[in-house]
């Protein structure tokens, strides 16, 4: 009986949400006595007009701004080390992560490394490394510019080993942002293919969180509402973006990240190796794999899929209808149905299956997933 046990639930930080809220950033810095921000972003976002406007606004108001954006789209340990060197050399006093999941993960890992200088992967949560996160960390602010990972409200960073490509999780409640400035206007100029891929990432987070085997009814409710918002907004945000659709997607993205503290599952374990081995965009990897992963999970969890189908307002309230919806949604977004269309070949399958089985996400899947299951799913999706 779930009610015979004691459970702990955690929810995230202060979120300032709404069109134009980024204008509050300078006043927030001043009120907290912060003058020397390190802005961590990625090479693309750092060239965009809204980013230049943020930097210019801060400098006009007297802040000493340094930008670090030399990171990979699937971040690795060396990115974090380079960013920490910039922190040291430039004598910064606050980290502001601006961007999507990669930028925010690197920013969060830099926040950890500033006062924790042993090998970064000593702090890997999968080996209990969170117990070593004992020192104070710098002030940390997040500004999301995509609606996918929801990293802005998270307390973990996923960083890959440069050589083995295995993903590690750096986790601690100390790594949560002090405040999030979630401004949908910063997502308005995202190209359609990025909007689609990141949106499917948010949908995957919400669906997998709802199905995850851990007990967390608050996260279940958040996940279902996140699915509902995405159903209403993703296609519009991709093809005919407006402030309402972008706002719904940004909120749904944060909801997915809040919900997946309950756990993720088979889809993420299928997707992570594609990113680390083949440098596939994480959202795209999730998008292609989600119909196959959801189909794998139906048997034994029909009631859960009935609830998802109901939220999606499908005519048939069952798992097969959910899977069909996912294929149709991918088609409407211009996302392919097969792995071969995103660069995966038969020669990759065995290595992908090994990495997927070693991945951290699937132990929370509602049913066990073996290495042979992963291989079969990859082959089916190929």
Contact 168, 122 (CB under 8 A): no
Token look-up 């117990």 returns 131
**Record: fold of 2-187:** Rossmann fold (3.40.50)
DSSP line for 129-159: GGGG--S---EEEEEE-SSSS-GGG-SEEEE
- Residue 249: both structure tokens together: 């997607």
Range in 219-223, 259-263, 285-289 with the lowest mean pLDDT: 259-263
pLDDT over threshold 90, residue 162 = no
> pLDDT tens, 172-231?
989 999 999 999 999 998 899 999 999 999 999 999 999 999 999 999 999 999 999 999
pLDDT of residue 74: 83
Nearest to 204 by CA among 212, 215, 194: 212
pLDDT at 2: 55
DSSP 8-state code for residue 123: G
Report the alpha-carbon distance of residue 311 to residue 362 in Å, rounded: 24
Q: Where in the chain is the domain with CATH 1.20.1090.10?
A: 192-381
Residue-level pLDDT at 163? 87
Mean pLDDT of 328-335: 97
**Chain mean pLDDT for the chain:** 94
Is 237's pLDDT higher than 70? yes
13 pLDDT band, cuts 50/70/90, is confident
14-17 vs 139-144, strand pairing mode: unpaired
Termini Cα distance of the chain? 41
Q: Which residue has the higher pLDDT, 166 or 110?
A: 110
Confidence of residue 1 (pLDDT cuts 50, 70, 90): very low
Assess whether pLDDT exceeds 70 at residue 10.
no
Rounded to 5 degrees, what angle do the CA atoms 305, 3, 130 make? 80
Residue with tokens 């750096």: 170
Domain at 192-381, CATH class: mainly alpha
pLDDT band at 33 (very low <50, low <70, confident <90, very high): very high
Residue 115 has pLDDT above 50, yes or no: yes
Tell me: pLDDT of 289 over 80: yes
Contacts with 312 (C-beta within 8 Å, 6 or more apart), sequence order? 227, 228, 231, 322, 325
Residues of the chain with CATH 3.40.50.1970: 2-187
Residue 285 Ramachandran class (φ > 0 left, ψ -120 to 50 alpha, else beta): alpha
């Amino acid at each position: 009986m779930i009610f015979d046990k004691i459970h702990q639930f955690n929810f995230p930080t202060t979120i300032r949400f709404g069109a134009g809220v980024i204008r509050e950033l300078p006043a927030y810095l001043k009120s907290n006595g912060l003058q020397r921000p390190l802005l961590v972003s990625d090479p693309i976002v750092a060239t965009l007009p809204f980013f230049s406007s943020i930097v210019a606004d801060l400098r006009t108001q007297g802040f000493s701004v340094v930008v670090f954006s030399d990171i990979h789209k699937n971040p690795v340990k060396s990115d974090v080390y380079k960013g920490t060197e910039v922190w040291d050399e430039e004598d910064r006093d606050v980290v502001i992560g601006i961007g999507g999941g990669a930028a925010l993960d690197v920013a969060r890992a830099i926040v950890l490394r500033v006062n924790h200088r042993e090998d970064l992967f000593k702090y890997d949560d999968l080996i209990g490394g969170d117990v070593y996160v004992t020192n104070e960390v710098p002030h940390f602010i997040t500004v999301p510019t995509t609606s996918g990972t929801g990293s802005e409200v998270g307390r973990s960073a996923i960083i890959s080993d440069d050589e083995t490509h295995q993903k590690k999780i750096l986790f601690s409640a100390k790594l949560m942002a002090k405040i999030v400035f979630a401004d949908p206007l910063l997502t308005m100029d995202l190209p359609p293919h990025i909007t689609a891929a990141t949106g499917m990432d948010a949908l995957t987070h919400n669906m997998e969180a709802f199905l995850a085997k851990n007990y967390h009814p608050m996260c279940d409710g958040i996940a279902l509402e996140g699915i509902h918002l995405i159903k209403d907004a993703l296609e519009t945000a991709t093809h005919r973006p407006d402030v309402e659709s972008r706002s719904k997607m940004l909120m749904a993205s944060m909801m997915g990240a809040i919900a997946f503290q309950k756990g993720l599952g088979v889809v993420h374990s299928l997707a992570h190796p594609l990113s680390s081995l083949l440098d596939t965009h994480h959202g795209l990897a999730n998008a292609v794999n989600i119909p196959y992963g959801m189909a794998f999970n139906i048997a034994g969890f029909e009631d859960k899929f009935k609830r998802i189908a109901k939220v999606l307002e499908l005519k048939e309230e069952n798992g097969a209808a959910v899977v069909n919806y996912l294929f149709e949604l991918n088609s409407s977004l211009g996302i392919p149905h097969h792995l071969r269309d995103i660069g995966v070949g038969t020669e990759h399958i065995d290595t992908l299956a090994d990495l997927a089985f070693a991945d951290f996400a699937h132990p929370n899947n509602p049913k066990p997933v073996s290495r042979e299951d992963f291989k079969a799913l990859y082959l089916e999706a190929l």
